[in-house]
Amino acid sequence: MKNLIKLIMIAATGMLIANAPVNAQSKPLRIEINQGVIEPMPIAAPKFVAKGNGSQEYANQITAVIVSDLAGSGLFREIPASAHISNITNFDAPVQFADWKAINAQALITGSVNVSGDNLTVQFRLFDVFAQSALGDGLQFQAGKGSWRRMAHKVADAIYARLTGETAYFDSRVVYISEEGPKNARRKRLAIMDYDGANSRFLTDDNDIVLAPRFSPNNKEIVYTSYASGSPKVYLMNVDTLKQRLLDEQPGMTFAPRFSPDGTHVVMSLTEGGNTDIYMVNLQNGGKTRLTSGTSIETAPSFSPDGQQIVFESDRGGKQQIYVMPTSGGTAKRISFGKGSYGTPVWSPRGDMIAFTKISKGRFHIGVMRVDGSNERLLTASFLDEGPTWSPNGRVIMFFRETAGASGAPAIYSVDVTGRNLKRVKTPSFGSDPAWSGLLK
Amino acid sequence: MTSMKLTFAAIALIGLSACDSNSSLGGLGKDRGAPSSGGISQSNLDPASIAYFNETIGDTVLFLVDQSTLTSEATALLDRQAAWLLDNPRNSVTIEGHADEQGTREYNLALGARRAASVQNYLVSRGLTDARISTVTFGKERPLAVCSDEACWSKNRRSVTLVTGGLGS
């Protein structure tokens, strides 16, 4: 990332501690997200205090993004400012806990925003209102003004992590396919946006069909499929410089590329003579190893987070089903056994689950199962839901949903791994094939 | 006030009906069909022209759902294509393989490639040389008909033989 965000801990002020009654018995404020949250935790996030000229607009927007991130996760509910009794006008003044307790805010977020020249400083503190104590140290982020959204996401990430005990996913990006035009002449472009749909920008023009991009583990490169040469071929692109190169110069159509977790290899499908198999390409020396064989279709490979296994789809049993094989190739084990077809398996970053597309009785579903195929759960259903991708913390899945008919078009959605909190991710035009980055550094 | 923990109940699979916001619009789509010949009667076409190949012989072979095997109609059409190509040795062909929208994107790319290869193999079996035939898959990226029911899907599960070079190019 070009814009570095500097992180500093703010020493807890004596005042805050002095005013907080010591309550050694209380457990830390914590929301458990394993089972899906029925009742979001009520939080108050009064507008961050603007310090200095020109800070107010940033303070307003940064607070709004933090609230949008937290409430959008489905785990938290914002208590609107109209219900607040206290105002926070001084970031360092003692918190009137009774005023926040009275409106049943369990957590309170306070912050300040200071613009100085081109630099922006954001500070925040998180409080357990009922325990009347700070949750962790205050934090300060410093960066250029242009990074204000990322700083807001970083604050929200820190709050999410403290309140859930898990890493978050707000300071992340999504690379996707932006689509325009009629269904039989779609114009497709590679595009990249923040996880919440903000800051969308194009990475390619619409001259060639482009498909299914994926991030490298360091989020700096993507692999994708383009028809630039007339037939589908896998390309590698640097997201900052937009420099691209053909991954494999040899004949044959290539598609469905994904990076290995260490970023040194790309696994993909190669079609020759009508037969599609999975190959591993070494990015250092260009060497190519074949991992599957036979006349069946093998595609949509995805690495396990430890790099030891690859999950993929194959119709070797007659229909699209999901299989797992060692990264070196060799014997594959089928893991999907339900009725219908299964495709596009993606290994969760936590390593515990596989997300997939299921086609059954003319409907499409996004679902998850354990890596041994047990505990299959379908999260969505529609005319066409396809292409799951995991949030960096493995708690949320993004996918695309295409509507039926002559005017049918795709849009990007997200859903919690519990099946709750289904919502559309706003993109400037039609969107498909989302792929989530890791958390940005 | 020590208990700060929210309580949760385990949730069974959330009702899928909540996600079923897209009612099928199938049947409303206007079928565009194949491009028309623009009123040119076939008697005016030079039998060695690409237009003759496209309109009189036919460039499109249809496939059954999730299949790449050739039907008897398909082989009859491909026999005529092969005969024409043997008569017009300066032409080459690209076989495009396509799939309908009822499959995932990458699988459909592989399926389209299979269909194109199926046509290629048949043409080779009829005496054409491999070198004259190239293949490309478009998966579900370029539907011909845009409605979302079998009337359109059956037209989209296709291969298209694109003639290049020779007369009329």
**In this predicted structure, what is the pLDDT of residue B113?**
98
Cα torsion angle, A201, A429, B108, A333, sign: positive
Is residue A209 domain-shared with residue A140, that is, in the same domain?
A: no
* Rounded Cα distance, B128 and B132, in Å: 7
Q: How far is A353 from chain B (nearest CA, A)?
A: 16
Confidence of residue A35 (pLDDT cuts 50, 70, 90): low
Would residue A155 count as lying in a domain? Answer: yes
- Per the structure, the count of domains in chain A is 2
A160 plus A177 within the same structural domain: no
Q: Does B85 map to a domain?
A: yes
Is A222 part of any domain?
yes
Residue A319 lies in domain: 173-436
Residue B118 lies in a domain: yes
Whether A159 and A220 map to the same domain: the answer is no
* Separation CA A151–CA A219 (nearest Å): 18
On whether residue B97 sits in a domain, the answer given is: yes
- Decide if B14 and A231 are in contact by the 8 Å CB cutoff: no
Residue A1 lies in a domain: no
Within-domain flag for A441: no
> Pick from B5, B19, B142: which is nearest to A422 by CB?
B19
Say how many domains are in chain B: 1
pLDDT tens track for A197-239: 999 999 999 999 999 999 999 999 999 999 999 999 999 999 9
pLDDT of A120 reads 95
Collect all residues of chain A within an 8 Å Cβ-Cβ radius of residue B111.
Answer: 297
Kindly list the residues from chain A whose CB atom is less than 8 angstroms away from the CB atom of residue B33: none
Cα angle: A205, vertex A434, B98; to 5 degrees: 70
Sort out which chain A residues have CB atoms less than 8 A from B144's CB and list them: 184
Residues A244-268 pLDDT 10s: 999 998 999 999 999 999 999 999 9
Least confident of A87-101, A322-336, B18-32: B18-32
Q: Kindly report the number of other CB atoms within 10 A of residue A415's CB atom.
A: 22
Among chain A residues, CA nearest to B17: A381
Task: Give domain status of residue B130, yes or no.
Answer: yes
Q: Is residue B155 part of a domain?
A: yes
Tokens standing for residue A138: 């205050």
Within a domain: residue B24? no
How much of chain A exceeds pLDDT 70, in percent? Answer: 94
In a domain, B76, yes or no: yes
- Asked if the structure places residue A45 within a domain, the reply is yes
Nearest Cβ partner for B13 among A185, A377, A403: A377
- Read off the CATH number of the domain in which A240 is found: 2.120.10.30
**Pairing state between β A107-116 and A41-44:** parallel
Look at residue A438 and tell me whether its pLDDT is greater than 70. Answer: yes
Whether the per-residue pLDDT at A6 is higher than 90: the answer is no
**How far is residue A310's CA from residue A376's CA, in Å, rounded to a whole number?**
19
Of B9, B25, B138, the CB nearest to A404: B25
Counting runs of H as helices and runs of E as strands, what totals does chain A give?
Answer: 4, 32
For residue A265, what are the CA distances in angstroms to A114, A303, A354?
44, 11, 21
Measured between beta carbons, which residues in chain A are less than 8 angstroms from residue B32?
Answer: 184
B48-96 confidence digits (pLDDT tens):
999 999 999 999 999 999 999 999 999 999 999 999 999 999 999 999 9
Interface mutation vs chain A, best among B24, B30, B104, most A CBs within 10 Å:
B104
Residues A401 and A355 in one domain: yes
| CATH label of the domain that carries residue B98 | 3.30.1330.60
One domain, residues A53 and A75: yes
**What interface predicted TM-score (ipTM) does this complex get?**
0.93
Domain residues for B122?
Answer: 63-169
Which of A96, A129, A164 terminates a domain? The answer is A164
- Residue A408 has its nearest CB partner, among B102, B118, B148, at B148
Do residues A195 and A155 both lie within one domain? no
Q: Is residue B134 included in any domain, yes or no?
A: yes
Scan for tokens 């029911």, then name that residue: B149
Do A119 and A246 share a domain, yes or no?
no
Sequence letter at residue A318: G
